[in-house]
A and B are shown apart, each in its own frame.
Chain A
Amino acid sequence: MFEQLTNLLDQNQIFNTSTLLTYWDGFVVTCQLVFISLVIGLVFSVPLAVLRTSSRKWISGPIWFYTYIFRGTPLLVQLYVIYYGVIFINGIQESIFWPLAKNALYPTLLAFTLNTAAYTTEILRGAIIATPRGEIEAAKAYGMSRFVTIKRILLPSAFRRALPAYSNEVIFMLHASSIASVVTIVDLTGAARDVYSKYYAPFEAFFFVAMLYLLLTFLIIYVFKQLEKNMLAHLRPLS
C-alpha cells in the first residue's frame, strides 16, 4: 500500500513526496498562525469589548481609536510596520530579544493578533449593546454586582449573538494568514511559492493550495454551523 503510494508519487513530476511534505509543513505553520492569533486575540478582545461599551470617553475613546486604526488599514501594512519596526530597533541585534525578533514568526503573530483582536472587539461590542435592557435590569433587581452581571448575563448571551459574525472573522483570518508568506514565512502559500519557483508550474502549485484553503474554509463553516445549532437552539423557530 505504502509502496504503491510512493511509486505513484515518484511518477508525478510536481507532486512528489518532497513537495507534498513542503505543503504539509506549510499547512502546519498556517494552522499554528491562525489558531494562536485567534485564541490570543479573542482573550484580549473580551475585556476590550466590555470597556469599549463604557460611557466614560477616556476609557472607550482609546479602544475606539485602536480598532479604527487596525480596521482602517491593510493587514499587510500592519505586518510591514511591525516586522520592519522590530528588526530596525537600534541595538536589538545585540540584545537578548534578537532570537525572537529574527524569526519572522513572532512579529507576524503579533500583527495578526492585534488585527484580529481589533475586529473581534467590534464584533463583541455589537453583540453586547444588543443585549435587551430588561435582562440587565433583572440582574440589577437580583442585586448582582456589575462584574457578576457582565459574567453571568452580558457575556454569555453576547457570545451567542456574536457567533455568526465571528465565524466570518475566523475565515477572514485564515485567508489573511496567506500574507505571512510575504515576510519569508513558509506557510501554505509560502510552500506554494517555493514549489512554483522550483518547477515553474504556477497553476499546479497555486491551484493546489487554493483547493486546500477552500477545504479548510468549508470545514470552518461546518464547525461553526454545528456550534450555532447547539448554542442558538433556543432561537430556532418551532417545528
Chain B
Amino acid sequence: MLDFAGYGPELLKGAWVTMQVAFLSLFLAVALGLLGATAKLSHNPFWKGFATLYTTIIRGVPDLVMMFIIFFGGQQALNIFFEYLYDNYEIDYFINVNEFIAGVITIGFIYGAYMTETFRGAFLAVDNGQIEAGKAYGMSRGQIFLHISFPLMMRHALPGLGNNWQVLLKTTALVSVIGLTDMVRVATEASKAEHAPFKFFIPVVTVYLLLTWISEFIIKKLDAKYSVGVLKH
C-alpha cells in the first residue's frame, strides 16, 4: 500500500522543501514584523506612513498575485538592471530568479505585514511602567528591548503569531505554482502521470495536518513559558 509507485522518496524530498520554505519565510516574516511594528510605533511620520502603506497593500492583494509580481517582475527588473550595467560599464553578469528564493521572499514579505499588526498590538499591551522601571535602572534602549519589552510582548503576540504561522504553512503550497518542487508539486505531477490523485495527495494532506498538530503543541508550550508570572484561570 505504501509504495506510491516509486514517488515515495520524491514526496519526502518535497516535504523537506516545504518545511524549508515555511521556516525560512517565518524567520523573514518575524524580522519584518518586528521592524514594521517598530516603524508603526515610532514618532517619525515617514516610517509610520511607510509601514502603514506596506501593511495595507500587502493585506489587500492575493498571495498568488504577489508571488507572480515578485517572481516574474523581479526577473524583469533584474534583467533591466544587468542590461544597464552591461551597456554602461561592460559588466557581464546575470542572475536567474530562483523559485525557492522568490517563494521565501514573497511569503516572508506577505506575512511580515500580518506579523507587523500582531507585534504592534502586543507592544502596545506592555505596561509602560515596566519600561520606565528599566529606564530607572539605567538600561540602554537595546537592553530594555531585549530584557523587558520583547519577553513581555511575546505573551500577547503568541496567539496571533501562532495563527499567522498556521496560515503561512498552508500558503507555502503556492510555491508549487511558480515551479518549485515541493510536495504539492510532486503529488500533482504524480497524479497526472498515474491517474490516481488520492494516492499521492493523502500523504501530502497528512504531512500538513501533522505539522499543524505539532505547531499547536509547541505554541501551547511556548505560551506556558511566556505566561510564567501571569495568573491563568
Contact = CB atoms under 8 A, between A and B. Distances in A.
Interface of A: 68-69, 72-77, 80-81, 84-85, 88, 174-179, 181-182, 189, 192-193, 196, 200, 202-203, 206-207, 209-210, 213-214, 217-218
A147 to B, nearest CB: 35
Nearest to B202: A81
Interface in B164-211: 170-174, 176-177, 184, 187-188, 191-192, 195-198, 201, 204-205, 208-209
B198 to A, nearest CB: 6
A214 B57 contact: yes
Nearest to A86: B197
B150 interface: no
B205 A76 contact: no
Contact of B65 (A68, A74, A80, A210): A210
Contact of B69 (A73, A175, A202): A202
A223 B224 CA distance: 40
A174 B208 CA distance: 23
B63 A77 contact: no
Contacts of A213: 60-62, 65
Contacts of B172: 74
Contacts of A76: 173-174, 176-177, 184
A171 to B, nearest CB: 8
A81 B65 contact: no
B208 A72 contact: yes
Contacts of A69: 205, 209
Given A77-B184, A80-B191, A88 B197 contact: yes
Contacts of B171: 74
A212 B53 CA distance: 16
A202 B72 contact: yes
Given A84-B192, A206-B73, A77 B204 contact: yes
B100 to A, nearest CB: 18
A229 B18 CA distance: 42
A29 to B, nearest CB: 14
A85 B173 contact: no
Given A189-B62, A189-B64, A74 B173 contact: yes
**Which of B62, B64, B172, B176 has its CB near the most chain A CB atoms (within 10 A)?**
B62
A80 B60 contact: no
Main secondary structure of the interface of B (DSSP, over half): helix
Contacts, number: 110
B52 interface: no
Contacts of A217: 59-61
A202 B76 contact: yes
B19 interface: no
A202 B75 contact: yes
A40 to B, nearest CB: 21
B209 A81 contact: no
Contacts of A182: 64, 177
A193 B72 CA distance: 10
Contacts of A193: 68
A85 B184 contact: no
Contacts of B227: none
B170 A192 contact: no
B212 interface: yes
B13 to A, nearest CB: 17
B66 interface: yes
A210 B170 contact: no
Contact of A203 (B57, B73, B173): B73
B184 A206 contact: no
A203 B76 CA distance: 8
B191 A210 contact: no
A200 B79 CA distance: 13
Contacts of B57: 214
A153 B144 CA distance: 50
Nearest to A211: B61
Contacts of A200: 76
A206 B72 contact: yes
A73 B208 contact: yes
Contacts of A207: 69, 73
Given A72-B212, A74-B170, A85-B197, A206 B68 contact: yes
Contacts of A209: 65
7 contacts: A72-B170, A75-B170, A80-B187, A80-B191, A84-B192, A174-B62, A189-B64
